[in-house]
Amino acid sequence: MFRPSRRLATLPTPATIAMAARARELKAQGKPVISLALGQPDFPSPAAALDGAVAEVKAGHTGYPPIPGQKPLLEAVAGKFRRDNGLDVSLDQLMVCNGGKQAIFNAFMASLDDGDEVIVPAPYWVSYPLIARMFGGVPVEIACREEDGFRPQAEAIRQAITPRTRWLVLNFPNNPTGAILERDDLEAIAAVLREAPHVMVMSDEIYEHLTFDGRHHLSLLNVAPDLADRILIINGMSKAYAMTGWRVGVACGPVPLIRAMIKVQGNTTSGICTLAQGGSVAALKEDIAGVQAMRETYERRRGLVVDALRRIEGLSCALPQGAFYAYPGLSALIGRKSAGGRLLSDDVAFAEALLEEAHVATVPGSAFGYGPHLRLSFAASDEELEEACRRLAGFVQGITD
């Protein structure tokens, strides 16, 4: 009979996936569910990517790929770092993985021993602590404050570092808050890292193209090139290129780490689907205008959603500076009752009641280590977003003491 391993048994299903699954169930029962739970662009993948994938098959590239990635893709990725970040990286500093998620998995498997600590500023994307725990890592959360714009503070990082610290995880633009790190923030964090030469940094920059109000993404490596032998950049095709299903992620880091990650990948997935690699080359070589057009749409929708949320009495909503999520705070509504009689004891209860009673799927902030909040993805149509906000307003109006 099947018995899950001890390691797996203690791992919860990520709340993002659990909420999306419950939303699908309700939809199958005919309920008019709007799902703002998943971080999934609602645009089609670029036409160039489809053509590139077809060309790859037609060229007969259907055998096992090289484990780190096919050379044309690694070259296109190096070109991306030059074009978008002004960084010169060599091909042996790069690998492609089955999504950014596998890049993180590879890195933690390649580097963590039991009891090694991974500093994760909260709110965080759910997978960092979960993957770290798979390999015996101990997530050490540091709470970012809303009044600091949810940016991790250098001093808090300094205080969290111990001799067991192996990694600091940074993610900007951030999922779930949309916070970005500017030059000053990065310089202050780099100064702390210079005092702690045993700490590696995972800099997840997968939302780099989705920044608002004229801001431009600055990579940690731009600010601290002297730390290149300790910085692992995570990126990928999913968010900027609307290619979530293609499963192409990118890792860029010091050669010894990348070699170790290649060893992990060689023993797990044996590399990335060749069609997806051909499609990714074509998408990366295209003009960046397509990505910019999606960015503008997200920025417009951010305005629509944040305005609507700020009009709802009892919610507070910071303005996201990037990515495609709003992260309203719920503290004034916790401990009260929904119109359907459910006790809103915390943000999990709130998100469940909102889904059951108003059929809007979101993710509770506590899943990201920071509640009571809700994460709403604005990678959805204007109509869906307007209707979801209307329903949320109605749901909140119905709340009683």
- Give me the least distance between CB of 129 and ligand PLP, in Å please: 13
Closest residue to ligand PLP in the complex (CB): 99
Q: Which of 49, 65, 72, 101 binds ligand PLP (CB under 6 A)?
A: 101
3-state secondary structure labels for all residues of the chain:
CCCCCHHHHCCCCCHHHHHHHHHHHHHHCCCCCEECCCCCCCCCCCHHHHHHHHHHHHCCCCCCCCCCCCHHHHHHHHHHHHHHHCCCCCHHHEEEECHHHHHHHHHHHHHCCCCCEEEEEECCCCHHHHHHHHCCCEEEEEECCHHHCCCCCHHHHHHHCCCCEEEEEEECCCCCCCCCCCHHHHHHHHHHHHCCCCCEEEEECCCCCCECCCCCCCCHHHHCHHHHHHEEEEEECCCCCCCHHHCCEEEECCHHHHHHHHHHHHCCCCCCCHHHHHHHHHHHHCCCHHHHHHHHHHHHHHHHHHHHHHCCCCCECCCCCECCEECCECHHHCCCECCCCCECCCHHHHHHHHHHHHCEECEEHHHHCCCCEEEEECCCCHHHHHHHHHHHHHHHHCCEC
Provide the residue type at 230 as one letter: R
Size of the site for ligand PLP (CB under 6 A): 13
| 121 vs 358 by CB, closer to ligand PLP | 121
Q: Which of 100, 123, 365, 371 binds ligand PLP (CB under 6 A)?
A: 100
Examine residue 206 and tell whether it contacts ligand PLP (CB under 6 A): yes
- Using the minimum distance from each CB to ligand PLP, give the nearer residue, 238 or 338: 238
CB atoms inside a 10 Å sphere around CB 19? 24
- C-beta closer to ligand PLP: residue 175 or 274: 175
Of the candidate residues 106, 244, 274, 280, the single one contacting ligand PLP (CB under 6 A) = 244
- Site stretch for ligand PLP (CB under 6 A), options 95-103, 285-293, 341-349, 369-377: 95-103
In the chain, what's the furthest Cα-to-Cα distance?
66
Our CB check for ligand PLP shows the closer of 272 and 312 to be 272
Q: How far is the CB of 39 from ligand PLP (least distance, A)?
A: 4
CB nearer ligand PLP, residue 219 or residue 238: 238
CA–CA dist 95, 19 (Å, integer):
32
Nearer to ligand PLP among residue 186 and residue 206 (C-beta): 206
| Closer by beta carbon to ligand PLP, 175 or else 280 | 175
- The reply to whether 177 sits near ligand PLP by the rule CB under 6 A is no
CB nearer ligand PLP, residue 172 or residue 350: 172
Nearer to ligand PLP, 117 or 208 (CB): 208
Q: Does 363 bind ligand PLP (CB under 6 A)?
A: no
The reply on whether position 175 binds ligand PLP by CB under 6 A is: yes
Say whether residue 249 binds ligand PLP (CB under 6 A). yes
Beta-bridged to residue 171, according to DSSP, are 204
Judged by CB under 6 A, which of 238, 297, 366, 377 binds ligand PLP? 238
CA 178 to chain centre: 10
Binding string, residues 31-70; x marks residues near ligand PLP by CB under 6 A:
--------x-------------------------------
366 binds ligand PLP per the rule CB under 6 A: no
Q: Taking CB under 6 A as the rule, does residue 295 contact ligand PLP?
A: no
Q: Looking at 99, 253, 322, 328, which residue binds ligand PLP (CB under 6 A)? A: 99
Q: Least separation, in Å, of the C-beta of 99 and ligand PLP?
A: 3
Binding site for ligand PLP (CB under 6 A): 39, 99-101, 125, 171, 175, 204, 206, 236, 238, 244, 249
